[in-house]
Amino acid sequence: MASDTDRPAPEALISKFEVDRLLKQDQSGRRIAILGAIDGQQGILTAERAAFATETPAVLQAFHAAITHVTNLGDNDIYRWYLASSGPDAGGQQPPDLKLNLIWPCTDSHIKKYSEQVVRMVTETPAIYRDHVRPYMRAKREEGRLNWVFNILEGRTEQEDVILRDEGRRYHDGAADDDNDDVDDDGFLMLPDLNWDRKTMGSLHLLALVQRRDIWSLRDLKKRHIPWLKYLRQRLLEGTVKMYPELEQDQLKLYVHYQPTYYHFHVHVVNVMLEAGATQATGKAFGLENLISQLETLSGDEDAGMADVSLTYFLGEASELWTNVYGPLKRGEKPLAA
């Protein structure tokens, strides 16, 4: 056995490590495990990006000042996303190690969404949805917050990013248009989610936006939508693996959010290996297959749907639904008007 004096210094081992192959990449690409060898003996090197320094405003300003090699990936309305490097390099060849999203100008709602806050679990009954949440959804839609969605659907922005466009089968399900929205178009399109770097398959994240305007959230899904939802699911799976042939259909997960960030029905398509953070957690993500199954087992006619069931999900205390609806209900008070 080698004595302690024969052992190389710990710091020297990193430079002696000879890379063989990647074993694993996780945490949305922020942690890797590499198989290699040192002096003929196999070893595993794991690397994880350090947490951002955030102690003072000056530290944050220094971080911002160090951002270089900014490349725009796209922009739509108030949303923009980029790849960038976190510091200068002598040859100017440093690969991007930052994914940046910019919301500008942002609203108070954006600030609340991205602020650290206590989270609460709430149960939304059909009555609470009908009397309080649905009016809240309508108010948000009327504020024009869906402009960026309509820009994509109507061909004004991000068309170069669309990886699948489907005109739909026009099921003619007879949906009643109680909100004066178009329901004639059952088509949809799919494009990369703005949080994906567009190259790391392990963290693949796509977004499917439906053309029809009568479905604001999963609450609007009814039994008569089942054939359309099944068609939507199959086309999303087929389109994804066609675009990214290194993946197979059973490596993909499809889900919708409730509450969603915006009230226009959309489906998230992610690699099942993508680590499930808060956006994929119970109380936020509802699997598309499970929604279809729940609709199939609901009693009632073709108009029975998700508006008729109670849903439990989480909300941040800074959200308007908590401050205006669920907070007052918890205190035994009357909810505020939308």
Closest C-alpha to 255, from 292, 227, 306:
292
88 in the same domain as 129: no
Within-domain flag for 123: yes
- Asked if residues 236 and 190 have their Cβ atoms less than 8 Å apart, the reply is yes
User: CA 302, CA 272: separation in Å to the nearest integer?
Assistant: 32
pLDDT at residue 180, rounded to an integer: 44
How large is the average pLDDT for residues 212-218?
95
- List active site positions: 266
- Which of 48, 75, 101 lies at the terminal end of a domain, its last residue? 101
User: CA 54, CA 221: separation in Å to the nearest integer?
Assistant: 43
- Which of 75, 101, 127 lies at the terminal end of a domain, its last residue? 101
Within-domain flag for 2: no
Lowest mean pLDDT among 129-138, 178-187, 251-260, 323-332: 178-187
Q: Could you tell me the CATH number of the domain that includes residue 191?
A: 3.30.428.10
DSSP assignment letter at 336: P
193 in the same domain as 53: no
> What is the residue-averaged pLDDT of the chain?
85
Does residue 169 have a pLDDT over 80? no
Domain that holds residue 269: 117-169+185-331
Q: How far is CA 193 from CA 93, 188, 276, 320, in A?
A: 27, 15, 16, 25
pLDDT tens digits along 300-320? 999 999 999 999 999 999 899
pLDDT tier at 88, thresholds 50, 70, 90: low
Does residue 172 have a pLDDT over 70? no
User: CA 136, CA 141: separation in Å to the nearest integer?
Assistant: 9
Position with higher pLDDT, 39 vs 297? 297
- Asked if residues 133 and 124 have their Cβ atoms less than 8 Å apart, the reply is yes
Could you tell me the pTM of the whole model? 0.78
Does residue 242 have a pLDDT over 80? yes
Q: Could you tell me the CATH number of the domain that includes residue 64?
A: 3.30.200.40
270 in the same domain as 323: yes
Closest C-alpha to 42, from 14, 11, 12, 19:
19
324 in the same domain as 210: yes
Within-domain flag for 179: no
154 in the same domain as 55: no
- Asked if residues 33 and 24 have their Cβ atoms less than 8 Å apart, the reply is yes
pLDDT at residue 159, rounded to an integer: 82
Number of domains observed in the structure of the chain: 2
209 in the same domain as 97: no
